[in-house]
Structure 1
Amino acid sequence: MPSESVPGDLLPQDATAVIGGRLGRRAARRQRSPRRLVPVILAMVAVPMAAAVLRQGHCVARGWNGDEQFWRGCFSDLPAQYQLAGLDSGLTGWLTSGREPTQMPLVSGLMALLGGFVPSDSGWLEASRWYFGMWALLLAVCAVVGVWCVARTRPERLDLATQLALSPVYVVAGLLSADLVVVVLVLAALLAHSRRRPTTAGVLLGLGLTGHAWVGVVLVALLVSARRLGDGAAAVRTATIALGTAAVIGILLLLVAPEVVTGPLTSWWAESAGYGSVLRIPALVGHPLPAWVSPAVALLGWLVAVVGSLVMARRAWRPATWAQVAAFAVPVVALTGTAVPVQAALWVLPLAILAGVTWRTHLGFVAVEAVHATALWLYIGGASDPDVGLPGEWYAVVVLGRAIAWCFLLWSVWYTPVDNPIPRPQPPFVPRSRPQESVGA
């Protein structure tokens, strides 16, 4: 009996991937529609976020104090800042206390705002629990919104939204800081830009610029990628509105409480090489670098990120998207920064996922981040108990290995433009204007 030829693709063209493979050809069309699948994907966020909260169990029971929080791996900067920075006075205290926060205005202001809602009659442990609980709830909402933005930005690749929803990065770094708020603003700006809403994208990016400096290179990536995609007018409008939004917020704060704007800048300039930075390796082996080297290398890293973005956007055989250029530029800025904290993975990974990296690259990157986080807590705890802590030399090896893993992520992002569809010519962007009245009216 002659063998029948096997067709090259038995699956329908509109089959939607969720976990990483395609749905079966017998699945009903409505069952693989984004309207049915996206709510399921959003519900998946509860798995890693619940694990992140459980990881904080010891500190929730005993408090975030002493070296025990490092041995147990439940350190979080949120309750630590509440205890040390006087956040119980709320937003009013943030504006009038005269303190110089180390976080940028959006983050420090939001941390102070939530601090004002902690019951005033609580003890220090109960107050820390209240504060951490409010942040855990807010960050869980941010994680859900971020996954929704990825699903709406790439509806033909819902497996990318699933990657972000189930990512172990939330367990490693999700509850360490408020950085997830800034990440969600960037993802929302990417979604708004893809829907040709430059004003909304600009406002969201402007708010992100007041929350963290790395958002600036995301703005550069927008202008770089738009040149080859033929979407320059909307990109310029988005960038102008973003810079204007950040400038207005900064000027208003300078008039009311200048220290909340100048504090992060002076703290950054005076900071020597911090945890996670390869510039700290000489200090770990007994030969620290001069203090001026760290900010100088950080500024040089911005230049390298801009040049790398230009090269990537020009040489990619299919035009790289905004997310892909940003996913390449942000790790460069992070790696060359004065410090590369554990939560830096939150800046990088969502953009890399949106750019199209695979599950293998994603999980390998998070595994390295988990090793580094564990090594960091053991190294910090070892300052008070060297017999059980991690020696500085071994932590230097971990930092170097982490930097190599980040370089591999950069290599992976560089080749993701092959996943892009060939762009179609876009109509020129025309700003909305009010309709003119008819002559005969």
Structure 2
Amino acid sequence: MNKKLLSGLALVSVAATGFWACGEGNINGKDLNDDIAMASNDQDLQTLKDNALDECRMTPDCYAKYQGYLEGTEVPTSVDNPVPDVNSSNSNGGGNSYTMPNVSSSIKIARSSSSINIIDNPVESSSGAAPITDDSFGTCAPLKNPINKGEKVQWQFKANSKYPGFDALKIAKATYTWSFAAGAVDDGTGKGTTSGNITYANSGATTASVTVLYDGTPISVACDPLQVNGAAITGCTCEPDVAIPDVANGPVTVTWSVSKCATVGATITGYEWTGATGTGESATAAFSEKDQEITPTVVVSNDDNTKQSFTCSAVKAIDASKPDYEFTDQGNTNAIPFVGNVDATVVFNLPSGWHGAGDAGTCTFACQVDRGGTGDGKITGSIGTVEIVGGDYVTATIDVANTIGGKSLPFVLNVGSNAGASCFVAW
């Protein structure tokens, strides 16, 4: 018997049409002794056949080689060459020896209950055509972006279910061939729509593509680019020159500036802004209406092909001429009740001198929580740029100058599980 096929991990199963599918995706013919031995158990043989077909379909290399045979579009050539049924007697002197006919390289075994076609060397399937480039067939992108030089990353293809003539079954049977730029190293662990782990020795932007053998037609899809960073860029901050622009008297321009960037073994070379206009370390944006909010991002580059993105501090405009709430006096008797969460503009019009001559120093902005029966007393928020955090009674220290003359401040209050809060200005 063919020991190579039946021993150890080399054996996967025997295919329904009479060939052997091995773990590495190769198809080997059985010898005649294998046929006779396996003919003694039809049920086991059928199970092995089915397993072999499934295994080959699920193995991209095997399926790509023998797609035509598996789909029935390749008809095997064979000659009638019957092999005796092992259940029949063909003995010499009562022994168990058999006289076998000559066997060609492609034979057909005929039995009373079933027949098996055996192909020693099936023809490998191939469309023979150059790939069709069609990015509408699906999308392809790295699973992480950016990465650092020497770091591993996988790429993944996703089919477009709205592609004309899309067939989910054909996609399930498709095979995938990945192509990467020079210098990329593939560890060979790719499976189906996901590539193996790819390592890049060089920094910079790189690309990839995948060719999908779909229903016998190779379709090439270009992948989104991947950024491979070299020397790291760290520590960058991006802050505005005006934290709370008031547009009551017209548009206000805010400037964000990048600082404190560091890179070891390389030099900063450029800045790319999104959400604000600029080409260097600074960029601007104009505010023209209340509640307009801008949060720019900046990509900082160095001469080791690194591009690192940083998010700037958000800026939201207010309009003192259109306040949501107005505080006109101090004390909890002048508190304003807020129901639920708050994101508003408040105006302070307390009388000059309420806190002493010169309106200098600081005062307290306080909020008393309304638990509403189920609340836990915890609230968070901010008045201007000052954070509010605490329990049933929370306070924030603000400048007295901000409480007079119609000064506007943004007010944010997150009441959590509480019903709301009542807030006021105190000494």
Instruction: State the TM-score, normalized to the length of structure 2.
Output: 0.18
| Greater share of strand | 2
Report which structure shows greater RCO (CA 8 Å, sep ≥6): 1
| Greater share of helix | 1
Larger Rg: 2
